[in-house]
Amino acid sequence: MNFIVFPGQGSQKIGMGKKLSENFPEAKNVFEEVNDALNLNLTKIMWEGSDSEISLTSNAQPALMACGVAAFRVLSKLKDKNLKQLADFTCGHSLGEYTAMTVAKVFSLKESAILLRLRGEAMQQAVPVGRGAMAALIGITINQTVEIIKKTKIHGICDIGNDNSDGQVVISGDAKVVENAIEIAKQNGAKRAILLPVSAPFHCRLMEPARVIMEEALNNLKFEVPLIPVVSNITALAHTDPVVLKKNLIDQVTGTVRWRETMEFAKSQGVKKITELGSGKVLIGIAKRMLKDVANESFEDPEDFDVFQ
| Helix segments in the chain, DSSP class H | 18-23, 25-38, 42-48, 51-55, 57-79, 83-86, 96-103, 109-125, 142-150, 175-187, 208-219, 242-252, 259-268, 282-290
Catalytic, out of 11, 21, 55, 94: 94
Which residues touch 271 (CB under 8 Å, ≥6 apart)?
A: 1, 2, 3, 291, 294
CA distance 206 to 282: 26
The burial of 156, by beta-carbon neighbours within 10 Å (0-12 exposed, 13-18 middle, 19 or more buried), is given as middle
How many Å separate Cα 165 from the centre of its chain? 14
Answer for the pair 30, 109: CB distance below 8 angstroms, yes or no: yes
Has 203 been annotated as catalytic?
yes
| Helix/strand/coil percentages in the chain, nearest 5 | 50, 15, 30
CA distance 8 to 278: 10
Which one, of 249, 222, 219, lies nearest residue 234 by Cα?
249
- Which residues does residue 193 pair with via DSSP β-bridges, in sequence order? 137
88 backbone dihedrals φ, ψ, rounded to 5°:
-100, -30
Has 155 been annotated as catalytic?
no
Catalytic, out of 58, 199, 203, 298: 203
Q: Which residues are catalytic?
A: 94, 203
